[in-house]
A = this chain, B = another copy of it.
Amino acid sequence: MSEILTIGEPIVTFASKEPDVSLRDALEFHKILGGAELNVAIGAQRLGHSVDYISQVGEEPLGDYVIKTIKEHHVGTRYITRDADYWTAFQLKDRVTQGNPTTQNYRRGSAAAHLTPAVVDQIDLTDVRAAHMSGIFPAISATAEAAFRTLLKRLEAANILTTFDPNLRPTLWPSRGKMVTTLNELAGHAEIVLPGVEEGEILMGSTDPEKIADFYLRGARTKVVIVKVGPAGAYVKQQSGESYTVTGFKVAQVADTVGAGDGFAMGVLTALLEHKSLRSAVMRGNAVGALQVQTYGDNDGYPTPAGLQAFYQQEGVVED
């Protein structure tokens, strides 16, 4: 029985070891594990929360690797099914010394894309206190979208705290229109919506954090919108109309921004489960994001409770 649930697709990454060499020319690769929702699961576990990760992988070495690695992170695997007919998603990623890496995804028709609503129907929500949902999973297939909606409906019916990160992946969607319509509708079924300011512009047409927040506050279930405004931190607006900005932490050297948004969501969610104030939860989101951008891995920067406290002490702040 875990406290937190998330659903997603794990991605095995073959990360090039050769700086600034194209994926065509690179010859040496290192295998790592990624996936936005899995990052959230790993980070929440590291902060002391029990997490179950819902997914499906193939009956092959990459699937074996995913399950073994998730177990090593002490994230629950009982809701990870295997499908011998499809492969585990993977990607190639180049190594760049400037800017963001190029990825080539081999995930279409993956095992996770064949995860069905029937699997989600079987999930025991009894002890679940919170769930994190991202806009990536419903993008990977119609079946995945159906499974995602089934879970979202069950979470809503059970009144379980739910965060939703739009996590735009335009290449996974059949069209931009379908992406915008679907994600905006799904967001309305989450209590807390976590758009980035650039995502807001694509999804509802404004870069104004307050306008973005007002747009998502129209969602039937949505009570809080937290708009990530990059290094400046996050703008919060609640259903009551209360709003404020929680300033981000200064980072001297950004290694790579992968995993920062997932870390932000994880920070917010775990702090709320620990009965911290919403303001402190957003501060934790900023803190985890700041720690994560200083590392190259997808989730290596996520802190332990002690690491988080040390960071807060250094920054001279406290949670309340």
Contacts and interface: CB of A to CB of B under 8 A. Distances in A.
Contacts of A61: 22-24, 92, 104
Contacts of A87: 106
Contact of A24 (B25, B26, B64): B64
Interface residues of A, number: 22
A20 interface: no
Secondary structure of the A side of the interface?
mixed
A27 interface: yes
Contacts of A28: 28-31
A27 B22 CA distance: 20
Interface in A36-79: 60-62, 64-65, 68
A14 interface: yes
A162 to B, nearest CB: 34
A68 B24 contact: yes
Contact of A106 (B30, B31, B106): B106
A22 B68 CA distance: 12
Contact of A14 (B14, B60, B64): B14
**Residue picked from A25, A61, A62, most chain B C-beta under 10 Å:** A61
A300 to B, nearest CB: 15
A216 to B, nearest CB: 36
Interface in A1-39: 14, 22-31
A25 to B, nearest CB: 7
Contacts of A31: 26-29
Given A24-B65, A26-B31, A61-B92, 17 more contacts: A14-B14, A14-B29, A22-B61, A22-B64, A23-B64, A23-B65, A24-B61, A24-B68, A25-B68, A27-B30, A28-B28, A28-B30, A29-B30, A60-B104, A62-B104, A87-B106, A109-B109
